[in-house]
Amino acid sequence: MRKYFFLIALSVLVLDRLSKWVVARYIALHDSVTVIPGLFHITHVENRGAAFGLFADSAFPWKIATLVGFSLIALVIVTVLLWKNGHAITTTTIGLSLILGGAAGNLWDRVMDGRVVDFLHFYIGSYSWPDFNVADSAIVVGALLLVSEILFTKQRHEMVKSEPQNPL
């Protein structure tokens, strides 16, 4: 079973790398291509900070090394969790696989270039979501799957406990 989870992670990594390469190759930095007017652009930006540009303007000399270090720790933890839970296809293992692939994609950018290419830009009027990429999307979807597993497993477990036991 484990090979399927690592295949999911590898697929996310490849899709992330390919999409970032296409954007960097064909869209000039800070240029935009309208996909859905009034809602969605593909905009080539570079993020030297953490998620959504946090700490991007920080002058901390070890910023990139610190971000790489945290990413490596996260990769190790997610890989261990995936290995320990990799005996069946579950919401948890799929979520962990998506997080692993996304974390690897953004780590690759940080190690190779000291920045992450972001390009998905959603907005409505003057309201705008920070630019993100395929890796970020995989991490968020994976995290949502883990949260839903925690919430719904707990609810299901509580429902089973409260049902009357049939002595037959």
Kindly list the catalytic residues: 118, 136
Contact 82, 5 (CB under 8 A): yes
How far apart (Å, rounded) are the C-alpha atoms in residues 27 and 123? 19
pTM above 0.85, yes or no: no
- Break the chain into its structural domains and give their ranges: 2-158
**CA distance between the termini of the chain:** 37
Q: Using the Cα atoms of residue 32, residue 33, residue 34 and residue 36 in order, give the sign of their dihedral.
A: negative
Contact 115, 109 (CB under 8 A): yes
pLDDT tens digit sequence for 107-126: 999 999 988 999 999 999 99
pLDDT tens digit sequence for 40-65: 999 999 987 666 555 555 555 666 77
How far apart (Å, rounded) are the C-alpha atoms in residues 131 and 41? 10
